[in-house]
């Protein structure tokens, strides 16, 4: 491990407002070889995981970021009173359709949901979870939408390939299957003694 390079990488990633990609780190550190930077990043990941501290170096949203460990979330929320994202059912459905079907138009989202999505789309755009990718090359040139880098950061995804598959989602709803156990045979009921049989 190159201690100087590791320290530089840590300081750059620590001070960045959002995840820094490997390409961006290589641009910033042109005095170091790309393979050397990739190797140092890999060693830093192992180092932070191995030390068992309060945060790890993780690859998220196509870049590198320090993140607190989920196990300490309840303690962190005592200190930081940030407003958590609260999603309505319609916002979650719309976001899921965009995430899995992107690039997608508003009409395509509304066709899948069966209701108007204008207000929900506007909210998702304002929260920077969705972005406009351009215009579709069809009559009317409707806008096409996709998820943003912030979407990946909020949901802790390395990239869109990290989204759970339909099979993984369905597995969450499945009831666990237990082996059927044979009914135990109980002893035949013994008749209770009548009063005349009781010894006094």
pLDDT band at 131 (very low <50, low <70, confident <90, very high): very high
* Angstrom distances, CA of residue 110 to CA of 20, 70, 121, 128: 35, 35, 10, 20
Token look-up 């949203």 returns 61
Q: Tell me the domain boundaries of the chain.
A: 3-79, 89-160
Query: CB-hemisphere CA count at 13 Å for 4?
Result: 3
Given the candidates 3.40.640.10, 1.10.10.10, 2.60.40.2470, 3.50.50.60, the CATH classification of the domain at 3-79 is 1.10.10.10
pLDDT (average), residues 76-99: 77
**Model confidence pLDDT, tens digit, residues 19-74:** 888 999 999 998 998 999 999 999 999 998 888 888 889 888 888 988 888 888 77
pLDDT band at 82 (very low <50, low <70, confident <90, very high): low
CA distance 196 to 62: 88
Domains 3-79 and 89-160 equal at CATH topology level: yes
pLDDT band at 89 (very low <50, low <70, confident <90, very high): confident
CATH 1.10.10.10 fits 89-160, yes or no: yes
pLDDT averaged over every residue in the chain: 81
């Amino acid at each position: 491990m190159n201690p100087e390079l590791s320290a530089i990488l840590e300081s750059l990633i620590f001070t960045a407002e959002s995840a820094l990609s490997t390409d961006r780190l290589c641009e910033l550190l042109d005095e170091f070889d790309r393979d050397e930077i990739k190797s140092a990043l890999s060693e830093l990941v192992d180092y932070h995981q191995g030390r068992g501290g309060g945060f790890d170096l993780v690859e998220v949203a196509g870049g590198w970021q320090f993140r607190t460990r989920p196990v300490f979330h309840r303690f962190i929320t005592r200190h930081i009173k940030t407003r958590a994202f609260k999603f309505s059912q319609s916002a979650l459905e719309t976001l899921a359709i965009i995430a899995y079907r992107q690039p997608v138009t508003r009409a395509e989202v509304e066709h899948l949901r069966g209701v108007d999505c204008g207000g929900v789309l506007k909210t998702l755009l304002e929260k920077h979870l969705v972005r406009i990718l351009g215009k579709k090359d069809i009559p009317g040139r409707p806008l096409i939408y996709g998820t943003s880098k912030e979407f990946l950061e909020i949901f802790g995804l390395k990239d869109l390939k990290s989204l759970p598959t339909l099979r993984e989602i369905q597995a969450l709803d499945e009831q666990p299957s237990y082996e059927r156990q044979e009914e135990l045979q109980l002893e035949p009921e013994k008749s209770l003694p009548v009063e005349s049989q009781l010894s006094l």
